[in-house]
Structure 1
């Protein structure tokens, strides 16, 4: 049972237009194709007892992509191009991640999810990469993924899942990691040295990627890794090294 965080957006259905829980289908199909059962987790009040009750029924957590993390959470002034704050989603997902940490639940964090985990661990973000790196390679806009090359470090958990060395990935992000958070180890970088993936420096299963693996229907290995770790977690077994 894999919990997937969702957006809360204005949704149109027939004559109705209301805010609703929303998540692009590729996240769901990626989990099911990997053998997991997806459970959607829309933003809601983030009381610790509520979070614990939700996590008790799950075996793994997938922190999905979406709009920018509020820069106030890492002590920065808002850049003019940073998305409007979504405090409900930030609070809910931070609480879910911290709850997963407490019970050592396997976590896969994608794009915004990676950035949220980095902030939760005390790290900071570049709020607009074209200014920080001088390139727009990571977000071409218009709902079209950019294809970028990253280099995966050998000996990492990520390399065990998808192999070491160069890998073409689907990118759609204008922000990225500036200072890496505590207890995180960079395991892939882009051409300018930007961190493109990290994992825990301990035994916990925590994998974060800045790219969008759900956009690649021919490669489910990151989702298969999460489902495998979640299966072992559900049985109370040791997580894979």
Structure 2
């Protein structure tokens, strides 16, 4: 059987999307080691949306390293995970706040800063929305049940609660998913004071911020829920991939879009 050397046109034009990962103690077989990992649903959504997924584990970083990484990407996703270190927004840790993952915080802050500077399309998911807000100078509610009076967003035990979200009809998010969405929620923190430059584009009925966007870049969107958990709705990922393909066409030497 012969193998064709002809390039696959879809693969050639597919944008490369980087996804940040966890770095935690993990077990597999006889091994119990610190490891980088990310649930498959994240990069499966990127693949189904037409992108090529590349995983980005936390590691030592500065502006030069972040720039080198983004040189090879057409889009970026800041994924969910442990709580952002409250010291980053000038607060003491709440008893319910996770132990800080300072390496991941620094990693994602540097990647977001570089992405914004070069207008690389990005999508923040859950922690990713919080990280974006903190990186730009905003703050977080450290334990949302104390604010809204229930655990509707944080059932625990790996159970994602459904919560209705109202989207601003004039927002980029509405252009992607419409005016109302049933969100898959798994978070006990949320955005409090919104960073300068960010615009709130969705809330739930109790006022909890559910999406923000950065109008100063072509595509800078972050949602508090977990769109990767809804197999039948990949519109946010498709929006990122479309923006990343446009970015690739205008920034890559081959000019392929």
TM interval, shorter chain, is: over 0.9
Aligned-residue offset at 1:65:
0.1
Aligned-residue offset at 1:134:
1.1
Q: Which residue of 1 aligns with 2:126?
A: 111
Structure 2 residue 230 is the aligned partner of structure 1 residue 230? no
CA–CA distance in 1 between the matches of 2:136 and 2:217? 16
Post-superposition, which runs of at least 4 consecutive aligned residues in structure 1 deviate over 4 A? none
Taking structure 2 as the reference length, the TM-score comes to 0.90
Equivalent runs, 1:47-58 vs 2, <5 Å: 47-58=62-73
Aligned-residue offset at 1:13:
1.6
CA–CA distance in 2 between the matches of 1:203 and 1:226? 13
Match for 1:197 among 207, 211, 217? 211
Q: Where in structure 2 are there 5+ consecutive unaligned residues?
A: 1-15, 252-257
Match for 1:169 among 183, 202, 220? 183
RMSD value over aligned CA atoms? Answer: 0.9
Aligned-residue offset at 1:12:
1.2
Match for 1:180 among 174, 178, 194? 194
Q: Where in structure 1 are there 5+ consecutive unaligned residues?
A: none
CA–CA distance in 1 between the matches of 2:99 and 2:138? 20
Match for 2:115 among 89, 100, 117? 100
**Which has more radius of gyration?**
2
How many residues in Structure 1 have an aligned counterpart in Structure 2? 236
Say if 2:116 and 2:217, in contact at 8 Å, map to a contact too.
no
In the TM superposition, what whole-angstrom CA distance separates every residue of 1:33-57 from its partner, at most 9, and x where no partner exists?
A: 0000000000000122111111000
Q: Which residue of 1 aligns with 2:85?
A: 70
Aligned-residue offset at 1:202:
2.4
Taking structure 1 as the reference length, the TM-score comes to 0.96
- Provide the secondary structure at the position in 1 that maps to 2:192: strand
CA–CA distance in 2 between the matches of 1:64 and 1:117? 11
